[in-house]
Amino acid sequence: MNALVKADGLGKTFTTKPTTAKRLHLSSLARTSRTADPFWALRNVSFEVARGEMMGIVGANGAGKSTLLRLLGGIGRPTTGTLEMNGRIGALLELGGGFQGDLTGRENAILAAVVAGLLKSEALELLPEIIRFAELENFIDAPVRTYSTGMTMRLAFAVAVHTEPEIMLVDEFLAVGDLAFQAKCNARIAKLREAGCAIVLVSHGMDQIREQCDRALWLRRGEVVACDTAKAVATYYEQEMREESLRRTPETLPLSTASGTPALRKENRFGSMEMEISGVTLRPGPKLTCGAPLAVEIQFQCPATLDSPIFALSITRPDGMICLDTNTRSARIPIPPLHGDGFIQLTIERLDLAAGAYFINVGVFDSNWSHAYDFHWHMYQIFMEGGSAHKGILAPPNQWTMKLA
């Protein structure tokens, strides 16, 4: 079994560049920044990806994931080490980035397919299938500038998967279209893999890594932390993220939130406190009847601007069993860069939980889940009353009917 991608001791440096004027000696002060230390964006990275294998790449922002993907795509040369790519490379890096707004979907699709390596005749032959896959039959002759983001991405994805690459480089794509389209994309990717295509996927979603990848490579500041089965790497990574949140929790954490719930540092409250959850209000209140609606309002204070944080909420039983887990990223709620005070509310239309005590856990996380800003665990309790079930979690409205023949 020969590997399609073979990286051995890859390293890439970027020198902190003097300005052009300095480089061309237009300025007499040119000499000062000459000896700046090179910055190692990647250092001694080795791995292989076999035919039909899917390799995930994980790591925080700036860990070198994009640099690695670029090197694999033959864009830029590695400073050290060797790289072997044995096959035609396809890339899903910037979906729709190369599209020209004034050209029609059809013209753009042909252009993108030829740029990706197909002959024009092959592109024309594949076009009907691409259009069908992108579900754009009625809009294909309209200029792409009139497309929604989703339509553009669908077209770009459809072109990329139909060019039949032998090695595919993917930068977090699965936010394409609705669930049905995502399922179609996954099916298509599975088919590519069966045909022997090696896939390298950069992702922040550990669930995606676990479900889709065979192996994963974890980068931190340009160096490999782990390269193992996807499950193992995802678990290490999540564990490290929890530890990172713990480590960043300041010693002088406020002892209670603004609403007066006691908080014990590193026991039920974690986070770097760059942004603080100052209070949580439950409406109508902590005592609920089964099937009643519940609104959870999370008040926050954000002293410095933070880029698109993620809010998360879960409901757990005292034994830790998770009954509900949702966040603004998976719900695709766009969160603008935040600054100052505000609140965000989750409304649950009906909470059909079985009678008993539960905890509402709330948290706000860095935009790529690398650590928590503030996370409140088992601090807010609710009590469900009524409901017919004695055991189990769910208590939806139900009725028995019986008919005797």
For position 114 contacting another protein by CB under 8 A, the verdict is: yes
Residue 147's CB is within 10 A of a number of other CB atoms, namely 20
Query: How many CA within 13 A on the CB side of residue 23?
Result: 6
For position 42 contacting another protein by CB under 8 A, the verdict is: no
Q: In what order do the strands lie in the sheet with 338-348?
A: 276-283, 294-306, 338-348
Smallest separation, CB 318 to another protein (Å): 51
Q: Out of 36, 175, 187, 195, which residue is the one contacting another protein (CB under 8 A)?
A: 195
Q: Out of 164, 223, 238, 297, which residue is the one contacting another protein (CB under 8 A)?
A: 164
For position 191 contacting another protein by CB under 8 A, the verdict is: no
Question: Residue 192 or residue 354: which is nearer to another protein going by CB?
Answer: 192
For position 166 contacting another protein by CB under 8 A, the verdict is: yes
User: Which 62-81 residues touch another protein, going by CB under 8 A?
Assistant: 70, 72-77
Residue 197, token pair as written in the block = 């295509």
H/E element, 151 = helix 149-162
Q: How many residues bind another protein (CB under 8 A)?
A: 37
Q: In what order do the strands lie in the sheet with 215-220?
A: 89-92, 167-171, 198-202, 54-58, 215-220, 223-229
Residue for token digits 């079994």? 1
Question: Residue 24 or residue 183: which is nearer to another protein going by CB?
Answer: 24
Q: Out of 34, 120, 283, 287, which residue is the one contacting another protein (CB under 8 A)?
A: 120
CA 337 to chain centre: 17
For position 18 contacting another protein by CB under 8 A, the verdict is: no
145 close to 102: Cβ distance less than 8 angstroms: yes
Residue 311, token pair as written in the block = 């809010």
The size of the chain, in residues, is 405
Identity of the amino acid at 231: K
Smallest separation, CB 287 to another protein (Å): 57
Q: What are the b/e assignments for 351-368, b being 16+ CB within 10 Å?
A: bbbbbbebbbbbbbbbeb
Smallest separation, CB 77 to another protein (Å): 5
Q: Out of 111, 142, 253, 323, which residue is the one contacting another protein (CB under 8 A)?
A: 111
Q: Rounded to whole angstroms, how far apart are CA atoms 139 and 135?
A: 9
User: Which 90-109 residues touch another protein, going by CB under 8 A?
Assistant: 90-91, 93-94, 97-98, 100, 102-103, 107
Smallest separation, CB 20 to another protein (Å): 5
Look at residues 366, 77, 367, 66 and name the one whose alpha carbon lies nearest to residue 222: 66
Question: Residue 107 or residue 135: which is nearer to another protein going by CB?
Answer: 107
CA 374 to chain centre: 19
For position 172 contacting another protein by CB under 8 A, the verdict is: no
User: Which 295-314 residues touch another protein, going by CB under 8 A?
Assistant: none
For position 398 contacting another protein by CB under 8 A, the verdict is: no
Q: Which residues bind another protein (CB under 8 A)?
A: 14, 20, 23-24, 70, 72-77, 88-91, 93-94, 97-98, 100, 102-103, 107, 110-111, 114-120, 164, 166, 169, 195-196
